[in-house]
Amino acid sequence: MRAIPRGGPSRRRSTLLPLIAGVSALAMTATACGGGGGESEDGVVELRFSWWGADDRHSTTQQVIDLFEAENPDIRIVGDYSDWSGYWDRLATSTAAGDAPDIMTQEERYLREYAERGALADLGEFDQTLDLSNIDPLIAESGDLDGRTFGVATGVNAYTIMADTQAFEDAGVELPDDSSWTWEEYVELAGEISEATGGDVVGTQSMAYNENGFQIFARQRGERLYNEDGSLGFSRQTLEEWYELTVELLDNGGQPSASESVEIEAGGPDQSVLATNTGAMAHFWTNQLGGLTASSGRDLELLRYPGETEEDRSGMFFKPAMFYAISSESEHPEEAARFVDFLLNSPEAAELILADRGLPANVDVRGQITDSLSEPDARSAVFLSEVEGTIVDGNPPPPIGAGEVVEITKRIADDLAFGDITPAEAAERFMSEVATATGSA
């Protein structure tokens, strides 16, 4: 997965201009509409809207488009979608060729890159068209850079621990009090479940594969994964302590072995210990509750992260599920802003989208659709409401190169689990490799 193509030692500071200049005259002629849209012969403004996802999302989005066009007959929206694996290559290529979609879906790991390269419009320029006043304040500035708004959150998620209540009951272990449990209790609880079941059901899935768990751990200590300027915002000691928890879980049998963890991680959520009924806890986003409930056939409980009351502050945060952004090259940015406003603020659109792009970022709309949500999504909405008052703040957009951190995290997690490196060595490697990937070394 990559964002706009880059090359050479100084690739991080390059702009779109050299890339566009390299596109042939023929290609530029074929894509003369710059922002991907234009005006048809009948005088209707035509805009392209890009997104990723499975068939269900495509079908739902087309229904939203049909609804918008019925209310706005002067605008036609053309869908431009693909699965996740192909989305970023397609977007990078079209942006470099000066043919970016008028409205695009962005993800936090890539938002800064597209914004810094001048590919995104400042949404603040459309304040007469695009109403952002009801966006959840905990994510309202999540798409802001240097005082400008380059993306607006579609919806919100939170990273949690999901617990299989039946697994706890079968092991004879009580669910923790997630309003006060500590990291030490989490490790002990996981080991206790594994021991009670003879290892047939492990206490928890490895938490070392996703940097968002560490993000919470660091925030609890007044640190963060990235600073506003994109530099690393945590200490080596904090990261070492995080990795030490994984070693403790391996030592007490609370999580799967190294080889088992590799297989589980490769299989994705459908092969997680929760989905396969082989574990009592795992770390997932709230919007994954529905899929995991269906896969497991079990009642899964959402739990706050351990340590939320153990340190000076809480660490959990609301993450934008994704962002809506407008191309800086769009020939019809005001019309594009009208469509984004509809996506964010229309109750009718929200009744179709529901929680597919996270629970709606517009807090008023979120409340209006609660009764229409599926049972798991409704429980996620309740959970988010319950933890909202404990969340201190959000996070700035990750730096350019943050997309590479996913694989860095996995490699180091594997080496740590197999005993090839110590927690101290894992921390040193992570900080070095991430700093290099993000250009902050």
336-353 residue pLDDT tens: 999 999 999 999 999 999
| pLDDT for the residue numbered 17 | 31
Cβ atoms of 441 and 435 closer than 8 Å: yes
**Do 27 and 122 have their domain in common?**
yes
**Do 310 and 418 have their domain in common?**
yes
**Do 306 and 407 have their domain in common?**
yes
| pLDDT for the residue numbered 326 | 98
| pLDDT for the residue numbered 424 | 98
Output the 3-class SS for 76-136.
EEEEEEECHHHHHHHHHHHHHCCCCCCEEEECHHHHHHHHHCCCECCHHHHCCCCCCCCEC
Q: What domain range is 366 assigned to?
A: 11-154+322-374
Task: Quick: pLDDT tens for 23-81.
Answer: 332 233 333 344 556 666 678 999 999 999 989 999 999 999 999 999 999 999 999 99
**Do 267 and 239 have their domain in common?**
yes
**Do 253 and 144 have their domain in common?**
no
| pLDDT for the residue numbered 439 | 87
The dihedral over CA atoms of 369, 356, 270, 294, expressed in degrees to the nearest 10, equals 30
**Do 355 and 279 have their domain in common?**
no
| pLDDT for the residue numbered 43 | 83
Q: How far apart are CA 363 and CA 314, in angstroms?
A: 22
| pLDDT for the residue numbered 41 | 62
Residue 203 is assigned to a structural domain of this protein: yes
**Do 270 and 129 have their domain in common?**
no
User: Up-side HSE of residue 346: CA atoms within 13 Å toward CB?
Assistant: 17
| pLDDT for the residue numbered 338 | 98
Q: How far apart are CA 21 and CA 23, in angstroms?
A: 6
Our count of domains for the chain comes to 2
User: Which of 117, 187, 183 lies closest to 150 in space, CA to CA?
Assistant: 117
| pLDDT for the residue numbered 37 | 62
Residue 381 is assigned to a structural domain of this protein: no
**Do 171 and 305 have their domain in common?**
yes
- Taking 50 as the pLDDT cut, the residues of the chain under it are 1-34
CATH number assigned to the domain comprising residue 288? 3.40.190.10
**Do 19 and 111 have their domain in common?**
yes
| pLDDT for the residue numbered 22 | 32
